Structure 1
Amino acid sequence: MTESDNTLDLNEIRAASGDFDADFTAEERARRTPGVARRAAGSIVGMAVGDALGAPYEFGPSPGIVLAGTADDMVGGGTFAWAPGEWTDDTSMAVPLLRAFAQTDPADGRAIPTAVVQEWRAWAQKAPDVGNQTRAVLGRLSASSTADDARASARRVHESTGRSGGNGSLMRTAPVGLLVRFSNSGFFSTARTVDAIVTSARELSGLTHYDPDAGDACVLWSVMIHMAVTYGVVDVEDALRCLPESRRDRWRALLAEAADAEPGDFPKNGWVVHALQAAWAAIHRAGFDLVDDLTATPDAFRLALQHAINAGGDTDTVAAITGALAGALAGVDAIPLGWQRRLHGWGGEGVVLTGHELATLAVEVQRNVGSDYPTSYQPTERVDYSAYGDIGVLAKHPHDEGVWIGAVGMLDDLPAGVDAVVSLCRIGTRQVPDAIAAGDRVTVRLIDKEAPGENPHLEFVLTEAADAVAALRAEGKTVLLHCVQAQSRTPTVAALYSMRHLGVDGERAVREVCAALPQAHPNQAFASVLRAQTFTQ
């Protein structure tokens, strides 16, 4: 690989970015803007969910699984005896990137790569599963090694083995795609942002993988994730223009081949090219229309991972790559709560992260990049609701003595016996008492507004929230179900829980739940879901 192999025409990148941004009117951009934080979180949680779901089947033939979208899909096991819901090296290597991007502007030179290299090196010394190429490169480094040392090591490994085109850099590239700018007119793509993504993707790939195929794949996937996070759609031609001109036709043909194929048609998916093609095939087989954000449904997300895993081979990595783009398209709302609740894994020396914490890291990356990032999206230890009126509402669920329904203020004064919390509003990272175990905290981001764009996949999200209450109760937990004031979100989910799991007639469920909460009045969008559930009982 010569230096010219990686030389990029920045004018062409700027043209690609400009063309893509011009596809949207101000009104369209405004419609898509509320979903940006959700799509960013969806990319990272989607990556980790795919990783954890695929881990048990790694190195084997197609398992022929059918994903139900419940916690039971997270079976664990496999070659490395993973716990149910535990992610592998794919996500573990992405975590230092998330942390670095959340603290340092990726355009600031090489400070990020060197810090990341050292964290990867320390992790690889104890990790049960590290790719052969990555282990060979990191194993040659010392505690004083820099990013340049890592690239030199990657080149030496490549020259000694004759290859370095594994999928180990593509699997971790999703954080690069989260770099999105914000202004008063909303989120948008800029030439500077695309330039930073292209440069970062290739440089970070080269830390362990010298082969230009690995760098190209990371650039393509990172730019596509950026497009999906920013706008909810992907323009393949614009993404291809971010590659060196001499290699665009080849990758255009590879993507076209995959779009018409099955993921299993690319069996050498430890190779970065087949891994990307298998993921691209899985996304198309699942029904994603990349230019229509309305096709990015919960069913499409679930099916994309199912197709990816059923390709066999490097199942965790192909599913992680697939989940990163599928999650960026569909958003975190499309990911089953049962999967999110079990999700966990390495988050640093002695640290175990949850899926919710991964989502928070994703949003922190965007806040760091966009100086005008909306306050309503920014993570904080506590969200102050003291000006919202009565936030001390509390009542027993009229149909289940093991469920309390109320307002956010009850997090500071939990009823006796409560050992699980389902939150239906934005809360801080330290707002749920430490006594509640991480796996018994479920956060559902619902907005008490009726506009369709505010709550993507509304019916799915509401039913998932009700099912989460049922799952916790089945485990013997006493649950606090809350929103801000227990006016709209809490009564809606409480009534759905009665209807779906306790056999209570719809009209009676709504009437008696609302009678228990003095200010209960589900908004029209939520009420329409309740009516639909009543008619299908």
Structure 2
Amino acid sequence: MALPRISSAHQDDRAAGVLLAAACGDALGVPYEFRARLTQNQTPQMIGGGLGPYAPGEYSDDTQMAVCIALALVDTQAVAIQDHHILNEIADSFLTWRTMGASDIGAQTSTVLDAVQQDAATPWVASAMLRQARDLWKSGRHAAGNGSLMRTGPVALYDLHDAEDTADAARLVSELTHADPLAGDACVIWCEAIRHAVLHATFDGVRAGVALLPTDRQNQWHTWLDEAETQEPHTFPNNGYVVTALQAAWSAITRTPVPANNPAKGVFAADHLRLALEAAVRAGHDTDTVAAITGALLGARWGASAVPWHWQRIVHGWPEITARDLIGLGVRISHQNLPDRQGWPVADRHPRNTEALTPYQVAHPHDDGVILGNLPLADLDPADLGVDAVVSLCRVGTADFAHIPARDHLQIWLIDRPRANAHGHYTLDQAARAVHGLRQEGKRVLLHCAAGRSRTPTAAARYSGLLGIDAATAMTDVCQALAPNRPCVNFELERFVFDLAGAPQPVFSERVWNSRTALNPWSAKE
């Protein structure tokens, strides 16, 4: 029985990261699929092309099929994926994708789906698909491809508190197209790894997943995992096979060192997500699939807040899905499609801070092309707002700033509570770099949070740092510019500004802005 929701902001962040990081890995690997393997000195980029050809940042069938599963899971009231209603929804979604959205498709998946196309939208479509996949495997044809492992991430999120139920569901959804037990085994292992990572922020679930397999296959899987941990990803070249695909992904994760945090030098532990995804692409051959598999687990471990802003900006794909949608789907699945008390992530209009209902905006003191403000600015006429891009540091509604193109509305996972940010330095730095990147393109940028009092000034000060302004001057000037809006800075976020600059944090907040004492900085309701 699935529990209705998970508990912490960190866990929400990690659930949100599963589909997002998988899609980013997919889009990162697309240009290099079945081409000459990249060397260690070459950095993969989301440049598009590939077998599609794909647009820059566009993901392929790996994420398309994962989205099919995700959409089915948020469109049902059933308590278990094993319920035939959910299985039918997933199977029917696959068939819809096959005829309307498939930009690429694996041979094994194509064989199964094409054979049951006439059963689309019938009460027995899942049974027909399971039967066809089983017949294919029993025929002796190759049936252990990586096509079910690449899409399995959403399954892991549906019942985060029950390992055995998740394992059963992982195998069953795999068997819709891949009936070979090895494909099911791989999905069980990876789903347990993702489930465990979302709950506990470790990679320990990979080995725990092996314990959920039939006893007679556990030793072999431990051996395969041992090989992955001692060899580089490219030493598993036949990664169209599910075992070597998993080995290449696990190798990319385990053999990529986790950086030691050094914010002043721009080095963050969260960079492990990016570095390991790049290593997965360098494995070569089926690059998008290996990187998508890798990304699902990396996202579960490090969260959406660890995904680089420039990847989030351009990742997209069928059916008109963006980074924001991928984040929302991950959270909705893990919460059994129940929004939080404010309606996030599905509400059209996010509730405004009751202490900041009036739109407020002021020019950044060091760059008048950056506007600092609050969420009520979303209520203004676009002509009155006068910006080309928005960087949101708080939750927003699906229709807030709807006139801004999706690629120019960046939403950074930054929380205005102490210890609530899994990667506070990294996330604050990413917010500033998003503003900087948009400004380099000549865009006029709105930087805002809910009230414009805490996250906004700290991100603005970090942006000043990127312009060469020292941290103390930046914080002082930004707070003075925001004076009429009564800035009430979270002192942990303020410390991040100084840490990123490699400077000691002075005790100057009350001296610089006396009104900070009017509000408790640890309970500001942004």
TM-score (norm 1): 0.85
Structure 1 residue 498 and structure 2 residue 472: aligned? no
Q: Which amino acid aligns with 2:146?
A: N
Distance in structure 2 (CA, Å) of the matches to 1:389 and 1:466: 23
In structure 2, which of residues 134, 144, 148 is the aligned counterpart of residue 155 of structure 1?
134
Contact 1:404/1:480, CA 8 A, preserved across alignment:
yes
- Classify 1:225/1:376 alpha carbon distance in 2 versus 1 (closer, same or farther; 3 Å): farther
Aligned-residue sequence identity (percent) comes to 41
Match of 1:412 in 2: 379
- Give 1:424's match in structure 2, choosing from 381, 393, 413: 393
Q: What's the CA shift for 1:495?
A: 1.4
* 1:264 equivalent in structure 2: 234
Residue of structure 2 equivalent to 1:93: 65
Question: In the alignment, what sits opposite 1:285?
Answer: 255
Counterparts of residues 214-363 of structure 1 (less than 5 Å):
214-233=183-202, 234-287=204-257, 297-347=269-319, 352-363=320-331
Which stretch shifts more, 98-107 or 131-140? Answer: 98-107
Offset from partner CA, 1:44-70 (integer Å, 9 cap, x none)? 1110000000010001232126687xx
Residue 487 of structure 1 corresponds to 453
- For residues 101 and 245 of structure 1, the distance between their equivalents in structure 2, rounded to whole angstroms, comes to 30
Greater alpha carbon shift after TM alignment, 146-155 vs 352-361: 146-155
Of 19, 22, 28, the match for 1:53? 28
Q: Which residue number corresponds to residue 174 of structure 1? A: 153
Contact 2:192-2:206 within 8 A present in 1 as well: no
Q: 1:470 aligns with which of 422, 436, 460?
A: 436
Alpha carbons 2:344, 2:350 under 8 Å: kept:
no
Deviation at 1:536, TM superposition (A): 6.2
Contact between 2:15 and 2:330, CA under 8 Å: does it hold in 1? yes
Provide the C-alpha distance between the structure 2 equivalents of 1:203 and 1:341, rounded to a whole number of angstroms: 34
Hey, what does 2:366 align to over in structure 1?
Answer: 399
Q: Tell me by how many angstroms 1:279 deviates.
A: 0.5
Choose 490-499 or 391-400, whichever is displaced more.
391-400
Contact 1:67 1:73 in 2 (8 A): no
Cα displacement (A) at 1:448: 1.2
- Residues 367, 378 of structure 1: 8 Å contact kept: no
Q: Which secondary structure does the structure 2 equivalent of 1:528 belong to?
A: helix
CA distance in 2, matches of 1:167, 1:437: 35
Instruction: Give 1:141's match in structure 2, choosing from 95, 116, 124.
Output: 116
Provide the secondary structure at the position in 2 that maps to 1:115. helix
Q: Distance in 1 between matches of 2:385 and 2:305?
A: 31
Q: Which amino acid aligns with 1:526?
A: L
Q: Give the Cα–Cα distance (whole angstroms) in 2 for the partners of residues 389 and 517 of structure 1.
A: 13
Number of residue pairs the alignment of both structures matches: 481
Q: Partner letter of residue 442 of structure 1?
A: L
Q: Residue 396 of structure 1 aligns to a residue in which SS?
A: strand
Q: Does 1:436 align with 2:401?
A: no
What is the CA–CA distance in structure 2 between the aligned matches of 1:529 and 1:334, rounded to whole Å? 16
Contact in 1 for aligned 2:362/2:373 (Cα 8 Å): yes
The 2-side partners of 1:421 and 1:283 are apart by 33
Gaps of 5+ in 1: 1-13, 15-29, 182-188, 290-294
Cα distance in 2 for residues equivalent to 1:324 and 1:58: 19
Find the aligned partners of 1:417 and 1:377 in 2 and give their Cα distance: 28
Letter in 2 for 1:242: L
Contact 1:420 1:472 in 2 (8 A): yes
**1:122, 1:180 → 2: CA distance?**
25
Q: Assess if the C-alpha contact under 8 Å between 1:103 and 1:368 holds in 2.
A: no
The superposition leaves residues 423-457 of structure 1 with CA deviations (integer Å, 9 ceiling, x where unpaired) of 1011122222x21111111111211122x2x0111
Distance 2:19 2:343 in 1: 16
The 5 A counterparts of 1:65-214 are 73-104=45-76, 105=78, 107=80, 109-126=83-100, 127-145=102-120, 146-160=125-139, 162-180=141-159, 189=161, 193-214=162-183
Whether the 8 Å contact between 1:418 and 1:478 is mirrored in structure 2 is yes
Pairwise CA distance, 1:136: 1.0
CA-to-aligned-CA distance 1:375-398 (integer Å, 9 cap, x gap): 368422222125234542211112
In the alignment, what sits opposite 1:39?
14
Cα deviation for residue 235 of structure 1 reads 3.7
Shift of 1:179: 2.4
CA–CA separation in structure 2 for the residues paired with 1:143 and 1:478? 52
- Name the SS for the 1:455 alignment partner: coil
Moved more, 462-471 or 119-128: 119-128
SS at match of 2:496: helix
Q: State the Cα distance separating 1:160 from its structure 2 match.
A: 4.0
Deviation at 1:135? 0.7
Q: Which has the higher contact order (CA 8 A, sep 6+)?
A: 1
Counterpart-to-counterpart distance in 2, 1:399 and 1:296: 27
With 72-81 and 324-333 compared, the bigger mean Cα shift is at 72-81
Q: Give me the whole-angstrom Cα distance separating, in 1, the residues matched to 2:325 and 2:388.
A: 20
Question: Which SS does the other structure have where 1:404 is aligned?
Answer: strand
Letter in 2 for 1:494: A
Change (3 A) 1:535 1:243: closer
After superposing the two structures, state which structure 1 stretch, 478-487 or 45-54, moved more.
Answer: 478-487
- Equivalent in the alignment of 2:509: none
The amino acid across from 1:469 in the alignment is V
One-letter identity of the residue aligned with 1:38: D
Alignment RMSD, CA only? 2.4
